[in-house]
Amino acid sequence: MLRGVDLDLSASAGELTARLVDIESVSGSEGPLADAIESALGECGHLSVVRDGNSIVARTDLGRARRVVLAGHIDTVPVADNLPSKVDQGNLFGCGTSDMKSGVAVQLKLAADVSAPVMDVTYVWYDCEEVETERNGLLRLSKNMPASLAGDFAILLEPTGGVVEGGCQGTLRAEIQAEGERAHSARAWMGNNAIHEAAEILYRLRNYEPRQPQVDGLSFREGLNAVGIRGGVAGNVIPDVCVVTVNYRFAPDRSADEAADHIRALFDGWQVRITDAAGGARPGLHSAAAASFVAAIGGTPRAKLGWTDVARFDALGIPAVNYGPGDPSVAHSRGEHVSLDAITECESRMRSWLAAS
């Protein structure tokens, strides 16, 4: 029986997911859940455990030739009247079931049970993934104790519907500014309308042909879009400035700097200000560890199009993929849920991989 905030790691992965979900851990309030995880891992003599804030790293140190990193965040978006968890027709409902306490439960089951994996394993549970980057626990670990994240290959157990999703695309935002000259709108010819000038920016976006490159055998698909536009001074003034905010999602064969150069070249002649940029991650599926993982999981890997924390591993020189039992399409929704069978399958496949040669 569970008492207080104890975690029973001998429970099934599905039961453990429910227990994790019921320990509310909205970003910034992960303390009780981190305590419970740290305490439960303390019973596992084959692991060395360290903690940094509300992030926890547990490692085997068996002197294996290769080391893999299994990582997951323990925070959730704000609860949407969907706690405590409940089971209905084979699905577990509740905040964080899909994104990503089911993945965290699989990590914990493997950590507790697989005491002699064929590769050394580093388990990482981190805080504040669902909020602004500066608070991200994985970023903090990469600064405070980068050696703790070292490995040949990393798996982020984010929801992927049970499919291996390789790498991720990068994302860049820029402001493209058209300029003109103010005038009273009753005498428009005295000025130059910046909003009219922005027509050409929008046409370039509309006619842009995004690349769909193959990277390490996976098909990526880029996109370049206006995500905002603003201009206007008053109802009787010809505006002198119009700013189009664009979001460029770029494949991981291009660095963030190369992506910025591409945008500057495309909008040559306008003021271009890069407001934020984060490089993607190559899938790295050609590495031996990745290949054995993909073979164990089965199915056909696909490219991850959204940016995820796998990019942080890529930045550390570690190839990384996303693979988890949750369904990404229900993440962050009031009706968030996960299939109990999907959790069992994920656990089973990963256990086979870690246990077999």
Q: Which residues are catalytic?
A: 75, 129
- Least gap, CB of 161 to its own copies (angstroms): 14
Q: Which is nearer to its own copies, 10 or 225 (CB)?
A: 225
C-alpha closest to that of 13 among 286, 270, 343, 348? 343
Looking at the Cβ atoms of 207 and 357, the one nearer to its own copies is 207
d(CA 76, CA 352) in angstroms, rounded, equals 29
Joined tokens for residue 136 = 């991200």
Distance CA 175, CA 243 (A): 6
Asked whether the beta carbons of 106 and 162 are under 8 A apart, the reply is no
Specify the residue for token string 């360290």: 50
**Residue number, 2 or 188, with CB nearest to its own copies:** 188
Residue 172 CB, nearest distance to its own copies (Å)? 11
Residue whose tokens read 């309308």: 193
Q: How remote is the C-alpha of 23 from its chain's centroid? A: 22
Give the nearest distance from C-beta 199 to its own copies in angstroms. Answer: 3
Nearer to its own copies, 218 or 238 (CB): 238
Q: Provide, rounded to whole angstroms, the least separation between the CB of residue 3 and its own copies.
A: 41
CB distance 3 to 9 below 8 Å: no
C-alpha span between 331 and 251 (Å, rounded):
24
CB 82 within 8 A of CB 135: no
Q: Which residues bind its own copies (CB under 8 A)?
A: 169, 171, 173, 184-189, 193, 195-199, 202-203, 205-206, 221, 223, 225-239, 242, 244-245, 247, 249, 305-307
